[in-house]
Amino acid sequence: DGFWYYVVTHCDFNSTDSKDITFIQPYYYNKLEIVRFDSSVGRYVGYTELGVKNAEAWNSGPEVVQIRNEKERYCVNNVGNDYRSAVTKS
């Protein structure tokens, strides 16, 4: 018994070019996605009542500015290594 709350951060890419990389950070509660940040949208989007409330608060605060920079820090700086590793093994 209990509740599950978790965040799964990932990068979707098909090349090392920054325009081909998307930073995605969905938030889940009991296996249901409640809110997500997607760098191609540039803001948080809520999918449940709680998610919509969180998205509204985060989009009007400093959180959205900070997470917009995560694509560069988290994805762009690391995708090159992952991409080269995958290409040389396929």
Domain ranges of the chain: 5-88
5-88: CATH topology is: 3.10.320
Q: What is the pLDDT of residue 1?
A: 66
Q: What is the pLDDT of residue 90?
A: 60
Structure tokens at 36: 């997500």
Is the pLDDT at 25 greater than 90? The verdict is: yes
Determine the residue type at 35: V
CA distances from 67 to 1, 16, 38, 77, 86 (A): 32, 20, 9, 15, 27
Mean pLDDT for 56-85 is: 90
Q: How far apart are CA 75 and CA 14, in angstroms?
A: 12
